[in-house]
Amino acid sequence: MALMRSLLLAASQNAWLRNNAVNFPFVRRSVSRFMPGETLDSALAAAQTLLQKRIGTVFTHLGENVTDRAEARNVSDRYREILLRIGQAQLSAEISVKLTQLGLDLSPDLCYANLESILEHSCGTTVWIDMEASGYVDATLDIYKRALKNHRNAGVCLQSYLYRTRKDLRDLLSVHPAIRLVKGAYKEPSSVAFPRKSDVDQSYFALAQELLRARAAGTCSRVAFGTHDAKLIRRIGDFVAQQGMSKAELEVQMLYGIQRAEQERLAREGCRSIVLVAYGTYWYPWFVRRLAERPANVWFLLRNVLAS
């Protein structure tokens, strides 16, 4: 499985596949499991359906590594449109952005200006900042801390597969952050990230405990767990109960179309169940990283190949 993951992560960065695989019918059928459609309207419709099951939504407009200033500004405009539509529909929804979409590869100041424009139009809606490959961690955390000075509704993602994350977490607690913890979905060398899944899982649970203790102590404003690992979710839920915290303190964020029964179980039991609904045309790299995260996703793709 480690070899398969490495191959898929390499494929996610392949320019030829990015430009051509999106035209293969079996690929388009497969990606429909993970996103309701390419348009904002389709994403909003999915959020309305989720809301009926007491499940919240985080919207993300797919894209990354924008290298044109006008396009980075255009991305910022699109996120402001999402925020406007969330307000009009009175949805329980948030947004999640990648800083490389907002021009981080061009200039940190340009990126921050675009992020600030989004935050100024957020009206208190949480704006999550995704964490990307390890080379972006320092810049991402610097921009997050800068944003948090004027916008307490900003949150940031941390990745348990990076060795540095425990230190990053402890450094962030001084600014009372909102943190979403994930395992990590980029191809990283063993010099910066745990190469074994068991070590990544162990790191995740250790960080989860630290985050929940910080939440109980009032040094972390919000804690969310981005994972589809049902066993890990149960362990974290048991820890929440052992600490005497309410079930509402367990917030789990999953991708659209994955572990739907688990999403609904969490909502029924009084936990905070959130689904990330992605949309847009630039879905290939994101989709392949989703395949790399879970072997079951690969078998789903193969079934669509055989059905072609």
Catalytic site residues? 130, 180
DSSP string covering 97-152: E-GGGGTTTT-HHHHHHHHHHHHHTSTT--EEE---SGGGHHHHHHHHHHHHTT-T
Phi, psi for residue 56 in degrees, rounded to 5: -85, 175
- Report the Cα–Cα distance between both ends of the chain, in Å, rounded: 25
Q: Give me Rg for the CA atoms of the chain.
A: 18
Q: Coil, strand, or helix at residue 50?
A: helix
Q: What is the dihedral of CA 265, 267, 272, 278, to 10 degrees?
A: 90
Place of tokens 């745990």: 194
Please state, in angstroms and rounded to a whole number, the distance separating the CA atoms of residues 256 and 268: 18
| CA gap 305, 139 in Å, rounded | 40
- Beta carbons of 112 and 146 less than 8 angstroms apart: yes
DSSP assignment of 256-281: TTSSHHHHHHHHHTT-EEEEEEEESS
283 touches 62 (CB < 8 A) = yes
3-state secondary structure of 33: coil
CA distance linking residue 91 with residue 307, whole number of Å: 37
User: Torsion-angle region of residue 124: left (phi > 0), alpha (psi -120 to 50) or beta?
Assistant: left
